[in-house]
Amino acid sequence: MSRFFRFPYVLATIVVLGIALHWSIWQLDIMGIHAWRQTQTMTVVENFVFEDMNILNPRINSRGDGDGIFRMEFPLMQWVFAWFYRLFGDNLTIARALTFIISIFSGIGFYRLLKAYGLSDTVSSIGMWCLSWSPVFFYYAVNPLPDNLALCFGIWSLSFLKRYQQNGLVRQLAGFGIFLALATAVKLPFILFGAGYIPVFIQNLRKSPAKSILHASILIATMLPAIAWYAWVIPQWKNTALIGGVGAEASFDSASAFNNIWGVFHSLLPELFVNYAAVLFFIVGFIVLFQTKDFLKLYASEIFIFGSVLLYYLYEVNMIGMAHDYYLFPFLPIIFLLVTAGAKRVILSRQMWLRYVGLIALLILPLTAYLRAIGRWTPMGNEKAILEHKEELRNLIPDDALVVVGNDPSTHIFLYHIHKKGWTFEQDWLTTEELKDHIEHGAKYLYSNTDHVRKSEGISQFLEEPIFDKDGITVYPLKRISDS
């Protein structure tokens, strides 16, 4: 078996199968699960290309008549993608291909992490194989989200941390710090991987206090740019639920929290994260962990990381819910360390039947990942009508005409597809006063997928005869205030 599960062969197979199993997706428009966050990502990419390549000024389309600057995570991925767009053209397939390359490097990073544990090439390659066919990893492997890049950097940071634990070399510590800083800048929750350094620091402090403090100072220095970014932008954030966690709720809904935790444990974990075909490995991995003598001491860094990520999840439990699976990416390295430990025990078992069961499980992982993920690219809600008439809706009016669109709770999907800028509303919350204010600030057209605007006497007084009316989407020119 070791002849086949060698790193070059496994990596090549992952690449070829990844391309083939995503064959119907490469030229697909953004749609389906989490189109919201994907369209926001690609909006920033396109606005870098067509407006301003200043990496400090990411812009969105839901901006009214303003400049659209909207700073959240450091937009490194979006900015790099924008350079490829400028070189090769505005084509979503480019973004999907770049995202896929990131996922491949995540797998390579995980292989290096496993090698840092002293595992053989065969076992490390099997671990990389298992991670690559996690359904949630497979789905996002071609969907542009900054979380993909943050996960990649985070995994590489852990491989450097593990080597630093073993040899104490400054260059390994610097590698850990640099990749941790990049992961944190691209997505803040990955700063929690830094918790893995705490037990290492405590252990080193007992041996050599001066050297330990010096190394900690080096690590902090590498993190300063990421810390500076968030110190600048967090005060600008308006998402109180994201910042405040459970404290942002007027009264904490413990029933919802329990349902979400149970849902993640019994549904998302085996189905989307581990892969049903790898559940045996995950369970055996737990058994191996608790059979390991002094595992609390041996795996203190991993336990600190897991505990920190778990606390973050509990803090944001109701905001994450069951929908925001990509918020749980920081759990993936820990999950697949256990999967790899279990796969090693099963594949190297003296029981021939168990080895065959493990081999079959490994072979069907790509199929089970594909079957679980492929339906996630199905258009949801009003997406189908928008996508069907996308080009017509884009070309209906000039790109520089400000518009009002709704309902669109995402604030990004509608405007991204029609390639316009302006205002959004949701749940029929557009009022006469708001529409009037939008018109006064330059709004020329209203894109609507709701009867609310037509039935409201206050709003309808500002509407001209529609210039488009198909499949529930209507486009109205807006009257000037003096004409209404």
Q: Can you tell me the mean pLDDT for 284-305?
A: 91
Burial of 384 (0-12, 13-18, 19+ CB in 10 A): middle
pLDDT at 262 over 60: yes
Amino acid at 263: G
Strand, helix or coil for residue 186? helix
Q: How far apart are the first and last CA of the chain?
A: 78
| pLDDT confidence tier of residue 53, bands split at 50, 70 and 90 | very high
Burial of 363 (0-12, 13-18, 19+ CB in 10 A): exposed
Give me the pLDDT at residue 249, please: 55
pLDDT at 244 over 80: no
pLDDT at 245 over 70: no
pLDDT in tens, 62-85: 999 999 999 999 999 999 999 999
Contact between 329 and 151 under an 8 Å Cβ cutoff? The reply is: yes
Percent of the chain surpassing pLDDT 90: 76
User: Which residue is listed with tokens 């301003």?
Assistant: 52
Cis peptide before 54 (omega within 30 of 0): no
Burial of 54 (0-12, 13-18, 19+ CB in 10 A): exposed
Give me the pLDDT at residue 319, please: 85
pLDDT at 241 over 80: no
Q: What is the DSSP string of 47-103?
A: HHHHT---TT--B-SB-TTS--B--SS--HHHHHHHHHHHHH-S-HHHHHHHHHHHH
Residues 83 and 397: their CA atoms lie apart, in Å, by 28
Of the segments 96-110, 262-276, 456-470, which one has the largest average pLDDT value? 96-110
Strand, helix or coil for residue 450? coil
Residues 198 and 305: their CA atoms lie apart, in Å, by 9
Residues 263 and 94: their CA atoms lie apart, in Å, by 35
Give me the pLDDT at residue 383, please: 86
Strand, helix or coil for residue 412? coil
pLDDT in tens, 347-402: 998 899 999 999 999 999 999 999 999 999 998 878 889 999 999 999 999 989 99
Give me the pLDDT at residue 373, please: 94
pLDDT in tens, 418-449: 999 999 999 989 999 999 999 999 999 999 99
| pLDDT confidence tier of residue 261, bands split at 50, 70 and 90 | confident
| pLDDT confidence tier of residue 2, bands split at 50, 70 and 90 | low
Residues 152 and 175: their CA atoms lie apart, in Å, by 14
